[in-house]
Structure 1
Amino acid sequence: MNWFFLQVTNPAATVADSLKQVMQSSGSAPSMNVMEMLAHGGPLMIPLALLLVLAVFFFFERLIAIRKASNIDPNFMNIIRDNVFSGNVSAARSLAKNTSNPVARMIDKGLQRIGKPIDAIEKSMENVGKLEIYKMERNLSMLSLVYGIAPMFGFLGTIFGMLQLFYNINASGDFTPAQIAGGIYTKMITSASGLIIGLLAYVGYNFLNAQIDKNVNRMEVASAEFIDILQEPTR
């Protein structure tokens, strides 16, 4: 009978000991340090870091410029309409000149052309609008450059790392699984970094383009409204 109870209790003790060992081993596992991990990426982490700095700088530089361009008084066109209807074009031009905004500069060009054919006024305003759109889109090409080449730099770093790893294995003849896994792990850091930087730049590029599209739509609405104002007295 004693032998039977020993047979029953021993597996339970074995399972308990195994769980204890697993918990102890998991508690002593080394934690991942992000900075140390990035340092293992190799020399190509330097150009990747520069690309990240460029992406962050130009994103916020363009974001501030676009936000400034979209800042306009909601009653701006109503004031312009009242001044044009009352014949006080100089007051309307003064308001447009003192408003630092693409819509205001476009309306100011239209006010300067009052008295000329509508087609000529529209053409002048369209030309100013194109210049304003170009100003808003300036430096966006840097973000597109970053999201285009950052993943390539990452893959290039991984390829160089793998070549170095296999060269060392061929030279030393030592190719344990731990050595190979460690080498691949450190060299894949450049690929992950390049993809993350490219993804951030891509999201920022598309976000800024969406903000520019909103401003372009606002400019088109203001242009159509201004033409309606000029044609209103003749109806």
Structure 2
Amino acid sequence: MFLNFLLQDNPVTDTIANTAVDAAGATVAVTEKVSYLDFVLKGGIMIYPLILLLFFCIYVIIERYLSIKKQTKQDVMMINDIRMNLKVGKIDNALMVCTRQPSASGNILRSGIAIIGRPISEIESVMDKTAEVEIAQMEKGLGYLGLISGIAPILGFIGTISGVIKIFHTISATGNLNIQTISGGLYEKMISSGAGLVVGVVAYAGYHLFNMMIDNFTLKVQKQTLEVINIIHEPQNGN
């Protein structure tokens, strides 16, 4: 009998079922309307400077990557061509080889070849100073990434702390203490800390990636400098 009653058209049962379906549909609709941007902006006022820092960080990373990639480009045949020209005394041709491909290594080697005839120590010193200038140009702007990687997480943490203070101030003023008030306000403020960490990680990764690229270039250019010094020094040993 009870089973037959449930199977029959019962207006009460239909009403409950329809209400549950409407509630589920409304929940899905609300969830679909919340965009990622709206979700992020719930993190509070500190989200705005973090967004600016993120865009600036991405700009610096793209600009530095293109610049460093261009400056550290290597001509695999450059050293061999320089050796062939210097051994036959064609210094002008060796200088033209250095300018064949605009790069930091070409500028460094050209600075030493241009003063061939002076003491080896002076040639080596000029090349080292030119290398320092080229490396300094590559490192231009990396300080911003280091700064952002340090302050972005702190800004996010400040945003979270200020939000938590506001939550407890509201609870103290209204006396309304419930889990929904605390969790609802707290998850929004934790967005600020998460955003700060994301921006900090992006800047930190870019900073150390570029330092690795510059370190690799420095090692290669030191080897090239030593090879050119040996090439220049060979005729002197022959004499």
Corresponding position of 2:101:
99
State the Cα distance separating 1:181 from its structure 2 match: 0.5
Amino acid at match of 2:110: D
Among residues 197, 200, 221, which one is paired with 2:199 in the alignment?
A: 197
* CA root-mean-square deviation: 2.3
* Partners of 2:43 and 2:176 in 1: CA distance: 22
- Residues 75 and 101, structure 2, Cα contact 8 Å, conserved in 1: no
Structure 2 gap ranges (5+): 1-19
Using the alignment, how far apart are the partners of 1:168 and 1:145 within structure 2?
35
Task: State the match for 1:206 in structure 2.
Answer: 208
Q: Deviations over 1:65-112 (max 9, x none)?
A: 111012232101111111111111011112223431111111111112
State the aligned residue count: 218
Q: Distance in 2 between matches of 1:45 and 1:194?
A: 8
Instruction: Choose from 124, 137, 140 the match for 2:139.
Output: 137
Runs of 4+ in 1 over 6 A off after TM superposition: none
Is structure 2 residue 233 aligned with structure 1 residue 231?
yes
Partner SS, residue 101 of structure 2: coil
Alignment-derived partner of residue 180 in structure 2? 178
Q: Percent identity?
A: 33
Structure-2 separation of matches of 1:75 and 1:95: 9
Q: Secondary structure at the match of 1:116?
A: coil
Aligned position for 1:188: 190
| Whole-Å separation in 2 of the counterparts to 1:28 and 1:101 | 59
Quote the residue 1:221 is aligned against. Answer: 223
Question: In the alignment, is residue 57 of structure 1 matched against residue 74 of structure 2?
Answer: no
- CA offsets per residue over residues 180-222 of structure 1, 9 Å max, x none? 1101010110000001110111111111111111111111011
1:164 is matched with which residue? 166
2:44 partner amino acid: G
Residues 26-69 of structure 1 show CA distances to partners (whole Å, capped at 9, x for unaligned) of x9564674222111011111100011011101111110011101
Q: Which runs of 5+ in 1 are unaligned?
A: 1-20
CA contact (8 A) 2:160 2:190 kept: yes
